[in-house]
Amino acid sequence: MKLTKRSTTELPPTVKHSAEAATFMVVGGKSMQNPHESERTSLAENAAPEQSHSRQTSRERPVSQPIGPSESLPQPGSFEAPKRTPFAGVDRTFKANLARLTQGITPAGLALAYFDWLTHLMLAPGKQLQLVEKAGRKAARLSMYAAGSVADPKTPPCIDPLPQDHRFSDEGWRGWPYNLIYQSFLLNQQWWHNATTEIDGLSSRSQAVVSFVTRQLLDMVSPSNFLWTNPEITRVTLEQGGGNLLQGIQNAFDDWQRSDLGQPPVGTEQYQAGKNVAATPGKVIYQNRLIELIQYLPTTEEVFPEPILIVPAWIMKYYILDLSPGRSLVEYLVSLGHTVFILSWKNPGPEDRYLGMDDYQRLGVMAALDAVSKIVPNRKVHAAGYCLGGTLLTIAAATMGRDGDDRLASMTLLASQNDFSDAGELGLFISESQVSYLEHMMWDQGYLDTHQMAGAFHILRSNDLIWSRMVHNYMLGKRKPFNDLMAWNADLTRMPYRMHSEYLRRLFLRNDLATGRYVVNDRPVWFGDIRVPCFAVGTVMDHVAPWRSVYKIHLQECREVTFVLTSGGHNTGIVSEPGHPRCQFQIGTRVPNGAYRDPDSWQTETPYTEGSWWPAWEAWLAQRSGEKVAPPSLGAPESRYRPRRDAPGIYVLQR
């Protein structure tokens, strides 16, 4: 494939024929227009040329024009399509359809990892003897426990579940024969862990993949998942005369029907954006084809002069940071006198397949920053990014530092990674084979589908998100009480084909950002060009952005870094409002050019603070802000940044 100078990644061929291109813009014979056309204003005003503080690229990229009102579109990087052959088309179609059956996980990648493991195990007779010995010792331990538990039911178990494993917490597991069933399962699980680790010559990647997949397979056959081997299910079934199973069947049918019709899960109707979530008063003051920018109304007579711009990830709806009143980070900041702006990303469709990382930076972060600078002129901005939004913010901040743009006052990264060399279990399947396989599926549909993306995150926590939920909903016949965070989690989004391909290749696969090879406007960006203080938050139980990976920000710059490690996971650790039970965090600051401490030493030596980390962050922002002044105007009515509609806008309502 021949690429032009400005193209950043290799992509499959573009569509040449108008008949094919029409499928991008027309679905079911209807043009893909905004469903909220009645309240939609012309986006041409928003996209009108205006002096920008950031450097602009001269790149113009031709794409099919949308059907509907005039709109300024980001143009995809130009490239020449390779020669198309029937054989290549067969491969693409086959892999795209196979990927849907395998949830986007390549069988070739798994087969290679298992072949690597099996080959090295066959060449390690010492390891084989060790495994035979361990199997014998575990059998002996189980036999001794079985004999002891007959004589004394209170005999301590020979193996305990891991602290986070609650599958066997019911008292019924302490009685015969269930005690022997779950003890033998845990011993078997431990043996398989020994069998898939510490094999001489086996690559760390293959070891991690085989160990992870084997653990998932064992979780599938856990005795807690079956009626006849789970004492809690058996007891409830006898007590209710099978009523729980009938209710479970009804729950399963309801869930299947909703999934088949594309409807959200049961309970989500209790939470509606703009009513009891995403309800903090504000106005959409800017819109382009990728974002709506929301400015929130002040609730205090005076505000800090420096505004806050929040960049959420487009892998999620923004209102995780604006949940129910009392649990909203946006509401909390506004109540303490901060002027808050937040991006609401469009949920992309097939027509957005060519949107790339550069487009998200240009039409997202930089366009929003231009708007904030116009509304609150001559003031620096506190920028905050969550998850992938934090990664994009880091790229934008490094670009700004390189180009001499000093509009930022500080940068906050919430559960965000910038170095992907140790990205945790999510990175286990990011290989050339996996990315290529996933690209075929995305090319076929133009995006990564919501359910395909959600499935990947569910696999990381299959015990909690798949099997335990199956037992609770379908065998015990119960429904867990729905809350605002669960409703938000069910409000899924998509990822454009090109952007996701670039994200996986440039960041996960090649780690370009951490190695100084990430190119913006034909020049690489470097962390050292970011010269503003940074506040970074990691969460202890994060499976998406492991906190030790987030902590690597200490290796990237010599500026001031304040790091917080809070309890909870990727979402629950960030949504940690004051008064939330069982919250605690650790906080420490490394001064500019200060000595480095490794993450484990930092965690051991840093004291714990009970409660939410939100007040600590707000105090950190206040210390880096000026004396309070009168609130700024709502938008800039004399320019294109005028109030257009009430928050939460229309992009957040897209399904």
Residue 11 lies in a domain: no
Residue 365 lies in a domain: no
pLDDT tens-digit profile of 136-158?
A: 999 999 999 999 988 888 889 99
What is the per-residue pLDDT for 255?
A: 86
Catalytic residue, chosen from 387, 534, 558, 583, is 387
Rounded to the nearest 10°, the torsion over CA 485, 486, 492, 495 is 60
Residue 68 lies in a domain: no
Residue 633 lies in a domain: no
Q: Is 523 helix (H, G, I), strand (E, B) or coil?
A: strand
The amino acid occupying position 606 is T
Chain center to CA of 37: 31
Place of tokens 């700024």: 632
User: What single DSSP character describes residue 426?
Assistant: G
Residue 204 lies in a domain: yes
Residue 598 lies in a domain: no
User: What's the burial of 545, exposed, middle or buried (CB within 10 Å: 0-12/13-18/19+)?
Assistant: buried
Structural domain range at position 166? 107-226
pTM check: above 0.85: no
Tell me, yes or no, if 387 is annotated catalytic.
yes
Residue 155 lies in a domain: yes
Residue 327 lies in a domain: no
Residue 417, pLDDT > 80, answer yes
Into how many domains does the chain fold? Answer: 1
pLDDT tens-digit profile of 477-532?
A: 998 888 898 889 888 899 999 999 999 999 988 999 999 999 999 999 998 899 99
Phi then psi dihedrals of residue 589, to 5 deg: -120, 130
The amino acid occupying position 240 is Q
pLDDT tens-digit profile of 219-253?
A: 999 999 999 999 999 999 999 999 999 999 999 99
What is the per-residue pLDDT for 151?
A: 84
